[in-house]
A = this chain, B = another copy of it.
């Protein structure tokens, strides 16, 4: 059902509520709405609100002071931290201490859900590519990498993953074979490396979901 049309008066009430919420941080009372629309009786206002609720523009909590909620509030003021994911931009760590990744973040970046693919926002973070090892695949040094934290065990063979090798965070194609894995670069001047799964010199963070670069 496409949202039912509002009458002139109902629209005025709705717009007043929107404006009020945005500027005051809370919904208005019936009397305040009445004052704004020159309606002396709260009952008059009440009828408009009932209409707005039936047409799906607002939701109300009975017997509650200021119990008015904009239905698309999610798409409006508060959606904020829930709708626009803000991902941690992690700082330098070394492979021996992967637990420090989320500590002391350098900042956070708003990231459109599109770039999280189907990944869980909670498990994602952003790191910067430390070398040009994947330049052949369009990932350059300094690029911002949206990484989904995941155990090496759950990684598909051949995905591009972010890995901490010693002091630097790099992107590589990941290949698991037994209890060791190969990290293959996409740039002939870099060479393939193999590590055992628990070598402290190397920690696999997870697959790279997106790449972003400032020019």
Contact = CB atoms under 8 A, between A and B. Distances in A.
Interface in A105-125: 109-112, 114-115, 117
A25 interface: yes
A3 interface: no
Contacts of A77: 25, 77-78, 80
Given A25-B27, A69-B25, A110-B112, A215 B160 contact: yes
A155 interface: no
- Copies held by the complex: 2
B114 A78 contact: no
Nearest to A83: B110
A208 interface: yes
6 contacts: A65-B66, A77-B80, A111-B112, A135-B138, A138-B138, A207-B215
A187 to B, nearest CB: 11
Contacts of A84: 84, 110
Contacts of A165: none
A209 interface: yes
Interface stretch (A16-24, A92-100, A174-182, A192-200): A16-24
